Amino acid sequence: PLPAGLQEVFPAPGDSAVRPVVLEVDLDSGLKATIVVDGFAIPEQEVSFVEATGVHRWTPSPTSLVMTEWTPGDHTVRITWDSLAGMPAPGEFEWTFRIQ
């Protein structure tokens, strides 16, 4: 079960995926996430974020400051989030998936 505020993540916990993979975090609207992949914080400018839907997307690229491509093996993602305005609504979630 996912914590309150988090609608869906892709790849899902325990999934096995084939490259290319776009990491997707779907939060309730009004929430914004910070994403950490394998211990490296993803710079905000590399994350595609749609405020109206709460969807965040990221994939490694040749211009990424963190990771240029997914390597085979396990990858751990940790997200933390909070509200964009109004009352705080913090949360966090961590999961692992595998790239073939």
pLDDT tier, 69 (very low <50, low <70, confident <90, very high otherwise): very high
Length of the chain: 100
Write down the pTM of the prediction: 0.94
Please tell me whether the peptide bond between 3 and the residue prior to it is cis, using omega within 30 degrees of 0. no
pLDDT surpasses 90 at 1: no
Residue 39 Rama label (left phi>0; alpha psi -120 to 50; beta):
left
Angle CA(7)–CA(62)–CA(34) in degrees, nearest 5? 30
**Per-residue pLDDT tens over the stretch 11-44:** 999 999 998 999 999 999 999 999 999 999 999 9
pLDDT tier, 80 (very low <50, low <70, confident <90, very high otherwise): very high
Q: Which two three-digit tokens encode residue 73?
A: 């093996």
Q: Residue 31: beta bridge partners?
A: 83
What pLDDT score was predicted for residue 19? 87
